[in-house]
Structure 1
Amino acid sequence: MVDYGQAVDRQADEINPATVDQRARRLLRADEPAAANAPDTHLLQALSLVLTEGASDLHISGGAPPSIRVDGALRPIAGWDRWSPEKVADALGSILTPAQRVEFDKELELDFAYTINGTRFRVNFYQQRNTVGGAFRLIPNEIKSLPELGIPASVARFAHLPRGLVLVTGPTGSGKSTTLAALVDLVNRTRADHIVTVEDPIEFIHDAKKSMISQREVGQDTHSFASALKHVLRQDPDVILIGELRDLETISVALTAAETGHLVFSTLHTQDTAQTIDRIIDVFPPHQQAQVRAQLAATLRGVLCQTLVRKIGGGRVVATEILVTTAAIANLVREGKTHQIASALQSGRTQGMHTMDQHLAELVDAGLITRQAAEEKAMDVEVLKQLVRRIDPTDTSVGDLSNGEIDFNDSFSPGRR
């Protein structure tokens, strides 16, 4: 098993080619459904470098060398030549099943999970300038707990709720899936429930522990999100995970499920809690928005917004904004006063709440990130400046929001040393 916690600073051209070739041959023994041809050896070598270089992503595109993302920065694999569009098409096509080829030819987009020798990747193929491109994201084998991820302790209460809607939000690559997997695993370990997930694709594999868990993948186990969610309430679930709230229909099902006594987890690509609430409301036509506000006020139980920030010394740490629905916040949602939510979070520390800027300031005060890195992620730079207390660079006192160095044990925030 790869030790993701170890620092791997050597460049790709410093890796013994024989070692890479040997690893690639091992990866050829993939446990995926049979593709039309054997997987391309060069593609498998590139995927192996994601592991050895501690990267999060691999990008393949015609006219450029394969590139990997390490600590948030994308760089070409050193010593590798540009791949022609024909080479890219052949390499990427080598891992597709016949059914996947048909789907890609029809949709010009394809999402799937690819497993090689026990290592899983979330994959997206896409068409660009009449050629194909691919993005591979490493999915860690181990599901870490919330404390191990450095997520504030108040988030754990969301896994013990009897019902309601809980959202994990943030930009692409912020570790939402990792956090959501930790929440589901906490439910799985502590509750005798039926958990049903609908994902595109399935990322983390959950084994039944105290709960029974049914994981459904769009395209493999169900034809669409809409089809799966149409029938999910008939499957006697206690907890439902919806991979992403993509559209009005998905949001409607999530709200209805939460309203009818289920605990629902999902994600959105929003930056803060107010934006999250507004995004849900704005999906609906104006004549329905008052009703949806009331429904959301009654069902929303919590929001965790997160982003990853460059850490001093390498790696990244997670910064969070947490909303725990209180009577006052529910009233703000109902009345459409989302602009006042930030003030409620600032004064809600005793309930486990804080704003993104508060947590960024704590990370600066803890000596984990620079002021500049914090300002790049701040919601309001002037507010952040007022919150930061650390003046002396040798002062590493830790505030009450920071959980210290964050190690997601994955590509998102390795916290390597």
Structure 2
Amino acid sequence: MAVIDVPQVLQIMVKNGAADVFMYTGAKISMKTPKGFAQLGEPLGPGDAERAIREILTDEKLKHFEERGEVDFSLSYSGIGRFRGNAFRQRGEASLVLRHINTDVPNIEGLGMPKVLEQLVMQRNGLILVVGATGSGKSTTLAAMIDFRNANAGGHILTLEDPIEYMHLHKKS
């Protein structure tokens, strides 16, 4: 039985510039870093990931996990950072994936996105769909678009997110 110190794992993750950390029964904790995958410690035994999940989830999110076998959530550790997580069951065991969320809201220009996005986000009506595979930059693109609108026009901005990734400061909206 391994005891997973989640904050310590996340500190290592951030220090190594890892985007994701994976915890599965029968495998070592692994991290997706810019240099490839890195592994920590010994393979996790039955129940190890579940204990870590129970340690970090709120009562509400834990109930959701127990009822549905999966849950999306966010975590924040002072001095470490913000993280988006997904806990789920596979092959009868709990598993956990955590992604580091950059707290700096990006800008459209810095992302190398076309200027037309600035025009689109300033429209009063319409629907904009941002689609793509996991890790393709959907949330980052949307955060940049929201930040541009927030900086350049008054009004209300409402996002429907679970979990919330980027915390936007009050500017003009």
How is 1:156-305 mapped onto 2 (pairs within 5 angstroms)? 156-211=118-173
TM-score relative to the length of structure 1: 0.39
Name 1:89's counterpart in structure 2: 50
Name 2:78's counterpart in structure 1: 117
Unaligned runs of at least 5 residues, structure 1: 1-39, 212-417
Pairwise CA distance, 1:90: 1.2
Residues 153, 71 of structure 1: alpha-carbon distance in 2 compared, 3 angstrom cutoff? farther
SS in 2 for 1:173: coil
C-alpha distance in structure 2 between counterparts of 1:195 and 1:98, whole Å: 29
TM-score relative to the length of structure 2: 0.91
Match of 1:155 among 80, 98, 117: 117
For the Cα contact (< 8 Å) 1:146–1:156, is it kept in 2?
Answer: yes
RMSD (CA atoms): 1.7
Q: How many residues of Structure 1 are paired with residues of Structure 2 in the alignment?
A: 170
Q: 1:310-355 CA distances to partner (integer Å, 9 max, x unpaired)? A: xxxxxxxxxxxxxxxxxxxxxxxxxxxxxxxxxxxxxxxxxxxxxx
C-alpha distance in structure 2 between counterparts of 1:146 and 1:85, whole Å: 44
Name 1:132's counterpart in structure 2: 94
C-alpha distance in structure 2 between counterparts of 1:197 and 1:72, whole Å: 34
Q: 1:366-402 CA distances to partner (integer Å, 9 max, x unpaired)? A: xxxxxxxxxxxxxxxxxxxxxxxxxxxxxxxxxxxxx
C-alpha distance in structure 2 between counterparts of 1:107 and 1:98, whole Å: 14
Question: Runs of 4+ in structure 1 displaced over 4 angstroms?
Answer: none
C-alpha distance in structure 2 between counterparts of 1:129 and 1:66, whole Å: 17
SS in 2 for 1:89: helix
Letter in 2 for 1:58: V
Identical residues among aligned pairs (%): 35
SS in 1 for 2:21: strand
For the Cα contact (< 8 Å) 1:65–1:76, is it kept in 2?
Answer: no
Pairwise CA distance, 1:117: 0.9
For the Cα contact (< 8 Å) 1:123–1:136, is it kept in 2?
Answer: yes
For the Cα contact (< 8 Å) 1:120–1:139, is it kept in 2?
Answer: yes
C-alpha distance in structure 2 between counterparts of 1:89 and 1:169, whole Å: 31
C-alpha distance in structure 2 between counterparts of 1:70 and 1:101, whole Å: 29
Pairwise CA distance, 1:70: 2.0
Is residue 65 from structure 1 mapped to residue 3 from structure 2 by the alignment? no
- Structure 1 window deviating more from structure 2 (148-157 vs 131-140): it is 148-157
Is residue 49 from structure 1 mapped to residue 12 from structure 2 by the alignment? yes
Pairwise CA distance, 1:166: 1.2
Pairwise CA distance, 1:76: 3.7
For the Cα contact (< 8 Å) 2:4–2:48, is it kept in 1?
Answer: no
Unaligned runs of at least 5 residues, structure 2: none
Pairwise CA distance, 1:72: 8.8
SS in 1 for 2:57: coil
Higher relative contact order (CA 8 A, sep 6+): 2
For the Cα contact (< 8 Å) 1:61–1:85, is it kept in 2?
Answer: no
Pairwise CA distance, 1:157: 1.4
Structure whose residues are more often helix by fraction? 1
Match of 1:108 among 63, 69, 72: 69
SS in 2 for 1:168: coil
For the Cα contact (< 8 Å) 2:85–2:96, is it kept in 1?
Answer: yes
Name 2:39's counterpart in structure 1: 77
